[in-house]
Homo-oligomer: A and B are copies of this chain.
Amino acid sequence: MSLRHALLGLLADGPASGYDLTRRFAGDLGRYAWQAGHTRIYPELVKMAEQGLVVVDETGPRGRKSYALTDDGRAELRTWMLHPPDQAVVRNETVLRMFLVQALDPPDARGVLEAIADHCAQEIARLRPVMHELDADDPGGPLPFGRLAGEYGLRQYEAVHGWALWSLERLRAPTTAG
């Protein structure tokens, strides 16, 4: 039930509507950690409200409903954060593709690995200055979501970039010993 905990975690920052939460999933959250669309988020919020984890604290124009965390909701979030399950959910299409390059012939594999390396290099070039600037502006500040996520994204792309280059290096070297 990770969607539920993602929603609880986002609401810990302050009340938000289903619409607001949906936009959060369109950013770094959905990019690196967990995807969800509004068609799943709205019903889940209703169920969470029924169970007392959140409450509608305010209504606005256009039928907007703002949800706030309850004490039960905060307790549930804390329990989940402090007690990770043995087997975490992992589903990453990109990593799957990376592992399956070995099913391609060498020219195709090389192409896929080069595309991965290029993409990582682009993302690193985009993220590095952003994170560096945040660091310069506020070196000892708090750790909001965006900063944790951005720093993770940067390091993750660097890791995958290194992996792709390593793999290309291995692929380049033909098997000499038979």
Contacts and interface: CB of A to CB of B under 8 A. Distances in A.
B176 A140 contact: yes
Interface stretch (A15-23, A43-51, A53-61, A151-159): A151-159
A93 B90 CA distance: 7
A125 to B, nearest CB: 18
Contacts of A99: 9, 28-29, 32-33, 145, 148-149, 152
Contact of A112 (B35, B82, B111, B175): B82
Contact of A102 (B35, B93, B148, B166): B148
A170 interface: yes
A163 interface: yes
B81 A112 contact: yes
A40 interface: no
Interface residues of A, number: 71
A142 B106 CA distance: 10
A33 B90 contact: yes
Contacts of A145: 99, 102
B140 A2 contact: no
Interface string A2-22: 100110110011000000000
Given A149-B99, A158-B159, A90 B31 contact: yes
Contact of A175 (B94, B142, B160): B142
3 interchain residue pairs of minimum CB distance: A12-B103, A9-B100, A140-B173
13 contacts: A9-B99, A32-B92, A33-B90, A35-B89, A77-B103, A81-B97, A89-B91, A98-B148, A99-B148, A101-B148, A143-B171, A148-B167, A155-B163
